[in-house]
Structure 1
Amino acid sequence: MLFTPATASAQPGRTYTIATDVTFAPFEFQDGSGNFVGIDIDLLHAIAEDQGFSVQIQPVGFDAALQAVQADQADGVIAGMSITDERKNVFDFSDPYFQSGVQMAVLADNDDITSYDDLRGRRVAVKNGTEGAAFAESIKAQYGFETVYFADSASMYDEVRTGNSVAVFDDYPVLAYGITQGNGLKTVTEKEAGNDYGFAVNKGRNPELLQMFNDGLQNVRDSGRYDEIIDSYLGEGAASSDNSIPGLIKSTYPQLLKGLWLTLVLSVVGIAIALVIGAVFGLFRVSRNVVLRGIGSVYVAVFRGTPLLVQAFFIYFGIPAALHFQMSAFTAGIITLSLNAGAYMTEIVRGGIQSVDKGQMEAARSLGIGYLKSMRKVVMPQAIRTMIPSYINQFVITLKDTSILSVIGLAELTQTGRIIIARNFQSFNMWLIIAVMYFVIIMALTWVSNRLEKRINA
């Protein structure tokens, strides 16, 4: 989609990019067919249809969704987002579309924890930025328990299932949905009053979009469509699924294969570009020119000295915000992987060149062959033989590094697993399936590396 400034007037017929978190069932998640669904998503589509505009869903996670709107990478955000005074300083909110609340849950077979008083001296799991976390913090001094934070509800529930925490505080609709999906928990307290959820845009931007959302919300409520959406996810007819390993494979393999394909594309394209970058800067690193050596050293220091996560955020959110343009998550992911892997490739090239006996270059030069030609014809062919295993190893590392790009909304294999777990809460089975997929791919690459090494050294 072409970038349109967030200050542009909202109007029917326009397509808006809406950021969300697809790991917050039943409000937003991805179904077995790969479609984005949930209370928030269905409601947004109903409002868009009523008001005559279109939406493009940008699934980036809750924290990244807020940053995307602030950086003008998205026009709005809907992600089960509580309307608070602090957030009103940064965002403009719509009319409330859902009244939430907080409940406490424990393991289904735990009869020892029945109230907040039973939490004294215990540990409780909460999710970053949620009403559950805020409520737990507000009462933990009174009841003497400790809180531990997680990025998604599935991880919180796993924390309780493993026994590391005795309870979880979460938004009551999320808990209710998770229980229907077999998360192994039960609620033990009444619902505490919570905040309202709202749709939001960047502060001072897109007031017309907010107005269309509010108008559409009222129409959807009046027509009865709103109640139908809520009942489809929280009513007695809410569907559950087969969560055995064969059942999960059967229902999720299209998504998993799509995630695996994106992982491989990111890895192959990223490492191909990194090979070129590494060759150029590797030659810089061994150049006789002090300026070129300095450029190569600075590049390596910057990209080896900062976390890949920080690089992804800076390239996807920081640079577009500073220069006022829009960049796709795929483009940002390729740039991030290429530059990061390129720094390591640079050192592989430098090490390979320096592993060649200096006498080889001296012999070539004594025959009257120029420096560059000697490097190309004599040194590099020998250096490449020693680089091949390191190249394959870096490819494996880059393939695994693609999982970090989920923070900018790329649904590669690991993020696909998180999205699936967010709707069925079957962490062990899903991570086992994904681990096997990674293992098969990496073992195949290792076999290729060994075959190449044997052929080259034959």
Structure 2
Amino acid sequence: MQHSTMRGTPLHGPTRAARGRRRLAVVVAAWLAFAALLLGATGAQAQETDNSGVAGKTFVIGTDTTFAPFEFRDSSGELTGIDMDLIRAIAESQGFEVEIRSLGFNAALQALSSNQVDGVIAGMSITDERRQIYDFSEPYFESGVQMAVDQDDTTITGYQDLAGKTVVAKTGSEGEAYAKSIADQYGFTVNSLDQSATMYEAVKSGNAVAVFDDYPVLAYGVAQNNGLKTVTEKVPGGSYGFAVNKGQNPELLAAFNTGLAQLKASGEYQRILDKYLAAPQSAAPSTFLDLLTSSFPALMKGLGNTLLVTGISFAVAMVLGLVFGFFRVSTSKILRGIATVFVAVFRGTPLLVWAFFFYFGIPQLTGQPISIWVAGVLTLALNSGAYITEIVRGGIQSVDPGQLEAARSLGLGYGKSMQRVVVPQAFKIMTPSLINQLIIMLKDSSLLLAIGFAELLYQGQQIYAGNFRITETLFIVAVIYFVAIMALTWLANTADRRFNK
């Protein structure tokens, strides 16, 4: 009988200890696989949780109107630029939608503070002061400041030539902060404006000798034949960030950061920058007719909005004016007092104050957003309603008091006497003033651009922000206003002659 030469080891099969070690290895491997699967599921669930905060949602994003190449409108009227491409690409990668509102820098920040928008991307520098009010994303662009002068100016070659002169910078920008920081050192005055295109025009017209602006904005403007040239090196500036209100929309901020990191990793971020900064497309020379042809559709859209908001507002203002006008001539002291307060408040305060109050103030007080159309109609209607109240009061009081007395002596009551005798005569007296008020309202509607209402002048600003042809664009806008007002005046006078024969 043969035996194994190894003690305790049978000839056939493993020992009990070996089998135990093998089972232990299998169990450990199974647990490791289960743990890996669990961690993977947890990670997937976490990723799903991260995206679930924004996926499928629509966020309203405020932006500037004239800050090429970060946000501006192209020849087709489409809002484009670095900021617009970034936020749209991030939204697509993170599964949410964005509604862009082109408001202007200051108006966009006010809209954010009043919760009219969920976030702002407008080439905004991240500062300690702004961090106290807003939460910022990771920086998406490192900026810098340069100074530019008129392309034909040979007297200004640096900061040392600015003594006793005026320069311009954009309100709230890094350029403004830097210009003010060296103003005393070099002895110049800083005038702050809201739009880059307006600043460049101020330099070209001689109202300022130089402009301080972010270097990519200047570089793009020079490429678009804005009539300027840079004369200083870039001074390192701040970092641009996407902003939300302090403590609000953290999921949107996290999604922006995640999407930005993905764009940088894929190379898409750099492609977006290169599209506008590496070799910006120079503006091809064009004639005035080319400008008119390309801008006409956008201007007609603005004119349509102007006429519509004017018509709605005038109808509301007429109702208010008639009601409070009769209150003004009422025998009741209470009704007269109410009408007097209404006229004093809305006729004695600037129209723009009410535009900002209705669009930005009311949402802050109520916590509910308000449509820009509602804000625009309320602004124009209440302001004009106060003036129409006085027109109605003056028209009624211009009718000979003997007319009312004669009607009453014939047995008509006060109401019937006013309705059949006094008011028809008063309306004939009021008509020219009412037509005039309608024209004033149409022109006043241009002030609504301050809250981002897309009326005629707003569309004009959008056009010259991209092509820097301010004078020609504003001339076209002025002609359209003139034609519209003349046509409206003719229609109103025709109606007056027909109904007041």
What is the TM-score of this pair, normalised by structure 1? 0.96
Tell me the equivalent position of 2:198: 155
Distance 2:285 2:488 in 1: 33
Q: How does 1:228-377 map to 2 (within 5 A)?
A: 228-377=271-420
SS of equivalent residue, structure 1 residue 24: coil
The one-letter code sitting in structure 2 at the alignment partner of 1:393 is N
Distance 1:140 1:383 in 2: 61
Which string of whole-angstrom CA distances, capped at 9 and with x for unpartnered residues, describes residues 195-216 of structure 1?
0000000011111111000000
The one-letter code sitting in structure 1 at the alignment partner of 2:117 is A
Q: How does 1:35-434 map to 2 (within 5 A)?
A: 35-434=78-477
Q: Which has the bigger relative contact order, CA under 8 A and spacing at least 6? A: 1
Distance 1:243 1:310 in 2: 40
Distance 2:318 2:343 in 1: 14
1:237 to partner: Cα distance? 4.5
Which string of whole-angstrom CA distances, capped at 9 and with x for unpartnered residues, describes residues 216-252 of structure 1?
0000111111111111112224252454321111111
Which entry has the higher C-alpha Rg, 1 or 2? 2
1:449 to partner: Cα distance? 4.0
Tell me the equivalent position of 2:62: 19
1:306 to partner: Cα distance? 0.8
1:110 to partner: Cα distance? 1.2
| Matched-pair contact (CA < 8 Å) for 1:421–1:427 | yes
1:456 to partner: Cα distance? 5.7
Distance 1:17 1:453 in 2: 45
Which string of whole-angstrom CA distances, capped at 9 and with x for unpartnered residues, describes residues 385-408 of structure 1?
111111111111111111111111
Give the fraction of aligned pairs with identical amino acids, expressed as a percent.
Answer: 58
Which string of whole-angstrom CA distances, capped at 9 and with x for unpartnered residues, describes residues 156-192 of structure 1?
1111111121111001111111111111000011000
Which string of whole-angstrom CA distances, capped at 9 and with x for unpartnered residues, describes residues 41-85 of structure 1?
110000000101100011111111111111111111111100000
Tell me the equivalent position of 2:10: none
SS of equivalent residue, structure 1 residue 369: coil
Distance 2:139 2:397 in 1: 65
Structure 2 residue runs without a partner (length 5+): 1-51
Distance 1:100 1:232 in 2: 17
| Matched-pair contact (CA < 8 Å) for 1:103–1:189 | yes
SS of equivalent residue, structure 2 residue 352: helix
SS of equivalent residue, structure 2 residue 68: coil
Aligned-pair Cα RMSD in Å: 1.3
| Matched-pair contact (CA < 8 Å) for 1:242–1:248 | no
Distance 2:286 2:414 in 1: 64
Distance 1:318 1:221 in 2: 39
| Matched-pair contact (CA < 8 Å) for 2:111–2:360 | yes
Which string of whole-angstrom CA distances, capped at 9 and with x for unpartnered residues, describes residues 114-172 of structure 1?
11111111111111111111110000111111111211111111111111211110011
SS of equivalent residue, structure 2 residue 429: helix
What is the TM-score of this pair, normalised by structure 2? 0.88
Distance 2:195 2:175 in 1: 12
Structure 1 residue runs without a partner (length 5+): 1-8
| Matched-pair contact (CA < 8 Å) for 2:169–2:175 | yes
The one-letter code sitting in structure 2 at the alignment partner of 1:423 is G
| Matched-pair contact (CA < 8 Å) for 1:32–1:255 | no
Distance 1:251 1:166 in 2: 32
Which string of whole-angstrom CA distances, capped at 9 and with x for unpartnered residues, describes residues 319-357 of structure 1?
121111111111111111111111111111111111111
